[in-house]
Structure 1
Amino acid sequence: MATATQLQPQDVVTVENPGAAGPFLIVCEHASNAFPPPFGSLGLTEAQRLAHIAWDPGALGLARGLAARLDAPLVAARVSRLIYDLNRPPHSAGAMPARSESHDIPGNAGLTAADRLARTEAVYLPFHAALRAEISRRLALGRPPVIVTVHSFTPVWHGSPRAVEFGVIHDADPSLALATVAAARKMTALRTELNQPYSAADEVTHTLRLQASPFGLANVMLEVRNDLIAAPTAQEAMAETLAPVLHAALHQTETDQAGTAA
C-alpha cells in the first residue's frame, strides 16, 4: 500500500477568509471527494467516489455561501472522508472504514497500525491543527469564535426516505442548537429537527468535542438533505436561508446567557 508521506498540509486542508471579522467560524470536514496519488482510488469505482460515502455532496458550496454571508473563515478538507473521516478520532473504526453504508472499501481493508498512524499524521493532524490555529488566533484577539460544522445527508437511508430536511445537532452544550432549531422553524419552511438524522450518540460530534467544548465555545453541527443543495444555485439559496437563522440563533443565545448572568 502506498504511504501518505507525500502529502503536505496544504493538500489536506484549506483555510478561506482567514481574516474575516464575523463571530462565526465555519468548518466542513467532508468537503471533498478527492483521492490524492498516495491512495489511488482505494479500489472504488468512479460512481462510488462520487457518492455520499466519499464526501458530503453540496456541503462545501453551502459552507462557502455561509462563510461569505457571515463574514466568517472557513476550514475545509481537501481529501475524501474515506481516506480519513476528519469528524472521527484516530481510534475510531469509522476514521478509516473498511465498509461504509453498503459498500466495501478495499483500500481500507486490513490496515495496519502503521498505516493508520501514517494517515492520522498526514491528514487528521494537519486539518485539526489548522482549525485549532484559527480558533487560537481569535481567542488571542478576545473574539472567541462560534463553531459551525456543515454537513449533508442522503434523502434515502437503506431504502427508507428521510422526511427531515434540516438537522441541527449538538454535543454537550445544546444552547445554540436549540436556538437554531427555533429560529429555523420560525424563519424558514424547512422541516427542521433536533439531533436528526444523527446525534452525538452516533459519534458525529468529534470536531465539536475536540475544538469547541474545551474552550467553552458556542457550537452547532448543521446537516442539510443533499437533494436540497445538489446544484450551486441551490447551495447559494440555502446559504441565503440559513445565514439569518444562525444570526438570530446566536443573538437569542447571547440574550439568554445575559439574562441568566443578571
Structure 2
Amino acid sequence: MTSNAPYHIEGQDRPGRWLITCDHATNRVPEEIGPDLGISAEDMARHIAYDIGALGLSRSLADKLGSPMIHTDFSRLVIDPNRGETDPTLVMKLYDGTIIPRNRHADAAEVERRLELFHRPYHNAYEALCARRDDVVICAVHSFTPQLQNRPPRPWQIGILSAYDRRFTDPFIAALEASEILQAEAEKFGERLIIGDNEPYDGHLPGDAIDRHALHHGRLNLLIELRSDLIETPAQQAHWAALLAPVLQDTLQKTGL
C-alpha cells in the first residue's frame, strides 16, 4: 500500500492467531476530501476525529502477540469504518458539540464515493486477513475520552465490548478484574480498577466491524477500549500493551478456545 492508502497492514507474516485491528487509528483527511473538514486543528486533535493512543497500543500489542495488525489511515469524521454501510452515523454531521461543515451536506452520492474510496477497501483487506486461518482471534482496539462535553467523568480504565458471543470476553473480563498488577496500575492514579462490561458503549451495532467480520463467521473476538488519558504517549501505549498481552494469551490458553 502507498503512503496515501486508506489502510495499512503490519506484520502480515507473523504466525500468531490474533488479528489486531484499529478502526480509528488516525485523524488524516485524505486529499480526495479536501484540505480539511472545516473544523479547527484543535477539534481534529480531539477524540471526535480518531481514537487517541489506539494505533500505538495496537502496534505494541500485535508485536507482543506475534500477530498481524491492520489499521485505517483516515479520520472517522471522513467516514466511520466501525459502522455498517447503512448506519445513520456513518458520516457524522455533529459530534460531541462540534458541527462538521464538510459533512453537513454530504448526500447519498458523496457517502457512496467515500465508501468506495476508504470504507470498502479497508474492510476487504480486513476480511482477507481474517480468512487466512480458521482459528483467528480478532482483537479490535479503541480508546475513549475520559469525559464527553457536559457529561460526568467516565470511571472505567478499560471497557470490554461484546455482543452475544461472549466466549472470550467473559473469561477475559474475569481475568482483568482478578489481576493484581492491573489493580496496582489503577492505584497509581488514585483510582480503583473498574472494568466496563459494554461500557462506555454498547458492544453491538448491527453491521459494525466485529459484527461483519467476527459474529457473521463465528470467529472468536473481543473489543478493547482504553481510556485515552492512559495511552497518550508511546511509553504509555507500550506499557499497557505489556500489561494486556499476557492476560490475552493466558485467557486464550486457559479457556482452550
Could you tell me the TM-score, scaled by structure 1's length? 0.89
**C-alpha separation in 2, matches of 1:244 and 1:113:** 45
CA offsets, 1:97-140, max 9 Å, x none?
Answer: 1111111001111211110100001111100000111111223x
Contact 2:84 2:207 in 1 (8 A): no
Number of aligned pairs? 244
**C-alpha separation in 2, matches of 1:37 and 1:218:** 36
- Comparing 190-199 and 27-36, the one that deviates more: 190-199
**C-alpha separation in 2, matches of 1:208 and 1:253:** 21
SS of equivalent residue, structure 2 residue 247: helix
Contact 2:26 2:75 in 1 (8 A): yes
* Amino acid across the alignment from 2:234: P
Of 232, 251, 254 in structure 2, the residue corresponding to residue 252 of structure 1 is: 254
Higher helix share: 1
Name the structure 1 match of 2:145: 154
CA RMSD of aligned residues (A): 1.8
Of 64, 69, 73 in structure 2, the residue corresponding to residue 78 of structure 1 is: 73
Name the structure 1 match of 2:26: 32
- Comparing 171-180 and 123-132, the one that deviates more: 171-180
Of 43, 49, 65 in structure 2, the residue corresponding to residue 48 of structure 1 is: 43
Name the structure 2 match of 1:174: 166
**C-alpha separation in 2, matches of 1:10 and 1:86:** 17
Could you tell me the TM-score, scaled by structure 2's length? 0.90
* Amino acid across the alignment from 1:198: Y
**C-alpha separation in 2, matches of 1:136 and 1:200:** 23
Of 187, 196, 199 in structure 2, the residue corresponding to residue 196 of structure 1 is: 199
SS of equivalent residue, structure 1 residue 214: helix
Name the structure 2 match of 1:4: none
Q: Deviation of residue 205 (structure 1)? A: 7.5
Name the structure 1 match of 2:121: 126
Q: Deviation of residue 73 (structure 1)? A: 0.4
Structure 2 unmatched ranges of 5 or more = 184-192
Q: Deviation of residue 27 (structure 1)? A: 0.3
CA offsets, 1:145-178, max 9 Å, x none?
Answer: 1000000001112331111100001122012111
Identity of aligned residues (%): 33
Q: Deviation of residue 214 (structure 1)? A: 2.2
* Amino acid across the alignment from 1:146: V
Q: Deviation of residue 249 (structure 1)? A: 2.0
**C-alpha separation in 2, matches of 1:232 and 1:221:** 21
